[in-house]
């Protein structure tokens, strides 16, 4: 691990300012992803800013009937919250499908959204990776691609986003609140937070330099049946081959977001109009334009079958 300096932030604006004023600085809270990457020298921050003391550890109601989730709320706390379990069951189920109990006890809301890909070529520093070293190439293209993206990828990167929680947040139309180094704040719809790879896969979000996530807001509950189904190679502590997060209403309408298929949580609102017609119709619109490899083409039918199982479960 490379040497680095460290400080504890005493306010959100001070944390953001410190990040902007130090070259190659990183925020740290739970550290469940960042510390692993630092040990492998994939991440080599020169300065760490500890944000654990900023008080973003509460889940509070909003004036319009939703909930505001602090950026430092631990995944275990969020999944167990009675309001989340009752009104946003999709989120609770997605969180419980991720990682292990020990990691959920440490991992934070903001950190979960910002975790980096688990592409094995990204983690192998002997392999070229545009996400790790821009311009070096992508070893995954032409390599072993079973776990990789089938849609939204580019000639520079075919990695997938690993977060289960982000899939649920996308289906729930969450909004991310941030503070910037100048003290100004902004709201970012979850749909706009993560970027597709294009020619710059190392730029993974729309956050600007030093911008700090302070909370995530869920809108008023929409009701319906909430289901999260994750298909993986083993029953626990594994990332999704395909995951489907759905909210299904009594009339068959609803929302669908999919994981394991793209560089970001994948949702196509136009595809949701097909939900009363069934999984095949939804999948055709949802994955329109997909470009799978021979090794991961099975994901297209796996999405359809998994969504079909979800819709059948929703009907009781």
Q: How many CA atoms lie within 13 A of 288 on its CB side?
A: 10
pTM of the model: 0.96
Distance CA 58, CA 273 (A): 36
Q: How many CB atoms are located within 10 Å of the residue 11 CB?
A: 13
CB 55 within 8 A of CB 73: no
Report the run of H or E that residue 109 belongs to, with start and end: helix 109-114
Residue with tokens 């136009």: 270
Tokens linked to 33: 């992803």
In tens digits, the chain (316 residues) has pLDDT values of 899 999 999 999 999 999 999 999 999 999 999 999 999 999 999 999 999 999 999 999 999 999 999 999 999 999 999 999 999 999 999 999 999 999 999 999 999 999 999 999 999 999 999 999 999 999 999 999 999 999 999 999 999 999 999 999 999 999 999 999 999 999 999 999 999 999 999 999 999 999 999 999 999 999 999 999 999 999 888 999 999 999 999 999 999 999 999 999 999 999 999 999 999 999 999 999 999 999 999 999 999 999 999 999 999 8
What are the structure tokens assigned to 65, written together? 């009937």
């Amino acid at each position: 691990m490379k040497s680095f300096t460290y400080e504890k932030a005493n306010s959100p604006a001070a944390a953001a300012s410190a990040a902007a004023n130090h070259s190659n600085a990183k925020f740290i809270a739970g550290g469940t992803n960042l510390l692993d990457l630092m040990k492998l020298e994939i991440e080599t921050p020169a300065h760490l800013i500890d944000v654990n003391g900023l008080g973003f550890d509460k889940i509070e109601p909003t004036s319009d009937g939703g909930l505001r989730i602090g950026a430092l709320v631990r995944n275990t706390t969020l999944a167990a919250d009675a309001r989340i379990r009752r009104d946003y069951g999709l989120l609770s189920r997605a969180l419980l499908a991720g990682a292990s109990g020990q990691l959920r006890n440490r991992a934070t809301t903001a950190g979960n959204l910002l975790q980096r890909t688990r592409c094995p070529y990204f983690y192998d520093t002997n392999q070229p990776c545009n996400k790790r070293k821009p311009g070096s190439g992508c070893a995954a293209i032409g390599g072993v691609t079973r776990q990789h993206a089938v849609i939204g990828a580019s000639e520079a990167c075919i990695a997938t986003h690993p977060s289960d929680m982000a899939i649920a947040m996308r289906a729930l139309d969450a909004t991310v609140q941030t503070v910037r180094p100048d003290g100004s704040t902004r709201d970012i719809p979850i749909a706009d937070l993560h970027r597709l790879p294009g020619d710059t896969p190392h730029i993974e979000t729309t956050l600007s330099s030093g911008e700090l996530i302070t909370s995530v807001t869920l809108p008023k509950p929409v009701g319906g049946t909430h289901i999260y189904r994750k298909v993986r190679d083993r029953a626990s502590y594994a990332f999704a081959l395909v995951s489907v997060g759905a909210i299904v209403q009594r009339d068959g309408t609803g929302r669908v977001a999919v994981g394991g298929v793209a560089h970001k949580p994948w949702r196509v609102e136009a595809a949701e109009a097909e939900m009363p017609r069934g999984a095949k119709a939804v999948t055709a619109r949802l994955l329109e334009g997909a470009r799978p490899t021979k090794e991961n083409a099975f994901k297209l039918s796996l999405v359809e079958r998994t969504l079909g199982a979800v819709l059948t479960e929703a009907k009781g």
